[in-house]
């Protein structure tokens, strides 16, 4: 059809346009466009659903969700009217924006509760000083609407003045009846005074580099989450340990507690029978020196479902005579009845790397154990729910301990000393044991003690660093009471072949003990031998590693295949 010559009353001719006022023409065009947009599927959704879509879209924007929202307003008149007139879409206010935009958000959020944020600046960007004082003044009439306050006020990003400190104190010490979550990072020396009757709804509190009295915190008895990071507590007449226990005792609803401490408790006379029960706790984390951590862990009682995370600094391994020193016992009490998480353990990992030792233990072998996160030292993060749809991150284990080491030569004995303590700490029902570290200093008697402690173990992995594991095979040999670990089905040995025999002694002795175990009805289902280059081989060819293997490796391989269900010998490259 030729639209240029078709006689239709719905179209305006050139002559008609000259006879109409231009404003009328634009109005007609606007109405036509609005009618067309109204027929689009997205605009036919109920307003509640469309608003929820926009809210989820903004939540998924990592960089700047509110700026994206403002851009979305330009899509069409319907979108603009809906966004402008929906207060909840303006309730998330970032104070690093220009003051006019902050004021716009405060106004358009109307009477709804608001969340106020001043995020930490990215570390790879040049710091930009923010004038925070006008924003605080702008929020003053809206204190009663603040539900979430997350402020990172570091000296690098904030122009600290006496007026700013006073204004910030006025904001935080005002009546904030709707405030549910407060996270505050300041420069050292900022004194925060909290009053429980001003914060009736507060449930989540996180303070970093803040000066706050213990008695103020003890007023907040309905907290469910509390994080104290490098905080200072003046006027502490009872001492930090007693005050900390008083705080835990007062906050009976606590589910998550994170306490990062850098100062020593000093010797405090605390009765040994002073035990604080935390029946609702789900994640308990504390960091500090071993002497401080043990004073806390020996005086708390956790429920069975709680996760216990500890981060220890300086084991003083270089000061121990004969390189024997406590590792697990340095931070965990001898009486573990009040830490039932230890009674249910079925899977244990002790993983040594330079400058750190990781200890993980759990009742269930979740996806965590096969993930990269199992080798991470981040045990501070609160655990996700077992089937939480909010995150794909693996669930952290029930027990997570990180030891920060000094790098002394005596650190090589950390794994040997930890292995010596395993049987006394964990129950005989352990099924999986993964150990990695300097294996050449672990005596056969220690290996025998480990195997005897866990008769139900079915999966054992040993990873040696810059050595082989020749002291281990004799511990697998038959004893007058029968074979150690009769349920052992999978064995993984990872080692670095030396120049002397390439691990021949270890592999030959392994064959002999596996042959005897096979004859006793304890045949191994799976054996994995993993060979990696020496630690000092920065550049190597696979042939260099192969040349260090025993010359009669093929015969050893045939022998091993005859006494196990399946055998694999792997050459590892790039830790793969």
Reported as a single tens digit per residue, the pLDDT across 238-295 is 788 889 999 999 999 999 999 987 566 666 677 878 999 999 999 999 999 998 899 9
Helix-helix angle 65-72:77-84, to 10 degrees: 130
CB atoms closer than 10 angstroms to residue 138: 16
Are 278 and 244 in contact, with CB atoms under 8 Å apart? no
Q: Please give the pLDDT value at position 444.
A: 96
- Say how far apart CA 359 and CA 351 lie, in whole Å: 6
Residue 88 pLDDT: 81
Looking up tokens 């207060």 gives 87
Closest CA to 451 of 432, 417, 476, 468: 476
pLDDT at 384: 47
Name the CA dihedral angle for 80, 83, 87, 88, rounded to a multiple of 10 degrees.
-170
Q: How far is the C-alpha of 306 from the C-alpha of 341, rounded, in Å?
A: 7
Question: Which residues contact residue 513 at a Cβ distance below 8 angstroms, ignoring those fewer than 6 apart?
Answer: 473, 474, 476, 477, 478
SS3 451: helix
**What is d(CA 305, CA 298) in angstroms, rounded to the nearest whole number?**
18
* pLDDT in single tens digits along all 576 residues of the chain: 444 444 444 444 555 555 556 555 556 555 655 555 555 555 556 656 766 666 666 665 544 556 666 677 766 777 777 777 878 888 888 887 778 888 888 888 888 999 998 887 665 655 556 667 888 888 889 999 999 999 988 766 666 777 788 888 888 988 999 999 999 999 888 899 988 899 999 999 999 999 999 999 999 999 999 999 999 888 777 788 889 999 999 999 999 999 987 566 666 677 878 999 999 999 999 999 998 899 999 999 999 999 999 999 888 777 777 888 999 999 999 988 999 989 889 999 999 988 899 999 999 887 777 776 676 666 665 554 443 444 444 577 899 999 998 888 888 899 999 999 999 999 999 999 999 999 999 999 999 999 999 999 999 999 998 888 999 999 999 999 899 999 999 999 998 887 777 788 999 999 999 999 999 999 999 999 998 876 554 455 555 566 677 788 889 999 999 999 999 988 876 554
Q: Which residues contact 126 (CB under 8 A, 6 or more apart)?
A: none
Give the C-alpha separation, 516 to 475, whole Å.
Answer: 13
Q: How far apart are CA 269 and CA 195, in angstroms?
A: 30
- Number of neighbours of residue 511 by Cβ within 10 angstroms: 21
Is the separation of the CB atoms in 462 and 469 below 8 Å? yes
Q: Which burial class, exposed, middle or buried, applies to 124 when counting CB atoms under 10 A from its CB (0-12, 13-18, 19+)? A: exposed
Q: What residues contact 314, with CB distance under 8 A and at least 6 apart?
A: 289, 290, 404, 406
Contact 157, 128 (CB under 8 A): yes
pLDDT at 157: 61
Could you give the CA distance from residue 554 to residue 408 in angstroms, rounded to a whole number? 40
Quick check: 198 and 176 in contact, CB under 8 A? yes
pLDDT given at position 27: 60
Alpha-carbon distances of 92 from 49, 130, 141, 236, 370, rounded to whole Å: 19, 19, 17, 38, 38
138: enclosing H helix or E strand: helix 133-139
And the tokens for 428? 């005989």
User: Any residues with CB less than 8 A from the CB of 253 and at least 6 apart, and which?
Assistant: 221, 222, 223, 224, 280
Q: Which helix (H) or strand (E) holds 536?
A: none
Angle between helices 47-59 and 77-84 (to 10 degrees): 80
Q: What is the model's pLDDT at position 6? A: 44
State the Cα–Cα distance between residues 367 and 396, nearest whole angstrom. Answer: 9
- Strand (E) or helix (H) holding 479: none
Element (H or E) spanning 351, and its range? Answer: strand 347-353
pLDDT of residue 522: 93
Six-digit token pair at 88? 């909840």
Q: Where are the alpha helices (DSSP H) in 177-273?
A: 214-218, 240-250
Contact yes or no for 175/152 (Cβ under 8 A) = no
Burial environment of residue 398 by CB neighbours within 10 A (0 to 12, 13 to 18, 19 or more): buried
């Amino acid at each position: 059809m030729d639209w240029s010559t078709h006689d239709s009353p719905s179209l305006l001719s050139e002559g008609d346009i000259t006879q109409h006022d231009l404003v009328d023409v634009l109005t007609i065009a606007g109405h036509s466009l609005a009618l067309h947009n109204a027929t689009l599927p997205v605009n036919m959704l109920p307003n509640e659903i469309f608003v929820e879509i926009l809210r989820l879209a903004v939540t998924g924007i990592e960089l700047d969700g509110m700026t994206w929202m403002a851009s979305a307003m330009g899509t069409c008149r319907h979108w603009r009217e809906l966004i402008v007139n929906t207060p909840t879409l303006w309730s998330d206010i970032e104070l690093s924006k220009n003051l006019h935009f902050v004021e716009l958000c405060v106004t358009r959020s109307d009477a709804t509760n608001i969340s106020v944020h001043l995020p930490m600046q990215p570390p790879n960007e040049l710091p930009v000083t923010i004038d925070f004082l006008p924003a605080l003044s702008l929020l003053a009439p809206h204190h009663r609407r603040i539900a979430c306050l997350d402020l990172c006020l570091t000296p690098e990003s904030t122009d600290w003045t006496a007026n700013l400190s006073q204004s910030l104190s006025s904001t935080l010490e005002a009546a904030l009846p709707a405030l549910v979550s407060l996270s505050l990072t300041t420069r050292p020396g900022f004194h925060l005074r909290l009053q429980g009757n001003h914060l009736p709804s507060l449930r989540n509190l996180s303070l970093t580099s803040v000066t706050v009295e213990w008695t103020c915190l003890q007023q907040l008895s309905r907290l469910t989450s509390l994080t104290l990071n490098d905080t200072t507590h003046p006027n502490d007449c009872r001492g930090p340990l007693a005050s900390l226990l008083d705080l835990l005792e007062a906050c009976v609803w606590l589910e998550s507690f994170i306490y990062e401490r850098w100062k020593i408790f000093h010797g405090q006379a605390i009765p040994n029978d002073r035990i604080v029960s935390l029946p609702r706790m789900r994640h308990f984390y504390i960091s500090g020196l071993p002497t401080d951590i043990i004073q806390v862990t020996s005086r708390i009682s956790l429920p069975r479902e709680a996760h216990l995370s500890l981060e220890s600094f300086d084991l003083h391994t270089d000061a121990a005579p004969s390189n024997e020193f406590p590792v697990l016992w340095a931070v965990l009490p001898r009486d573990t009845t009040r830490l039932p998480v230890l009674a249910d353990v079925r899977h244990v990992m002790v993983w040594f790397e330079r400058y750190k030792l990781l200890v993980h233990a759990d009742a269930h072998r979740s996806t965590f154990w096969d993930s990269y996160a199992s080798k991470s030292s981040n045990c501070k993060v609160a655990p996700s729910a077992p089937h939480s749809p909010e995150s794909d991150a693996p669930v952290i284990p029930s027990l997570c301990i990180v030891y920060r080491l000094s790098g002394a030569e005596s650190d090589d004995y950390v794994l040997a000393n930890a292995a010596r303590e395993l049987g006394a700490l964990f129950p005989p029902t352990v099924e999986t044991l993964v150990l990695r570290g300097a294996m050449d200093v672990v005596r056969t008697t220690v290996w025998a003690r480990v195997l005897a402690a866990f008769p139900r173990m079915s999966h054992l992995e040993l990873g040696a660093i810059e050595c082989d594991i020749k002291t281990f095979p004799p511990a697998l040999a038959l004893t007058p009471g029968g074979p150690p670990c009769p349920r052992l089905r999978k064995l993984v040995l990872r080692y670095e072949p030396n120049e002397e025999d390439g691990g021949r002694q270890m592999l030959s002795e392994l064959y002999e003990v596996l042959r005897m175990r096979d004859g006793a009805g304890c045949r191994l289902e799976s054996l994995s031998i993993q060979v990696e280059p020496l630690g000092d081989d920065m550049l190597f060819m696979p042939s260099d590693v192969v040349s260090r293997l025993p010359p009669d490796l093929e015969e050893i391989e045939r022998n091993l295949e005859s006494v196990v269900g399946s055998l694999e010998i792997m050459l590892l490259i790039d830790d793969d």
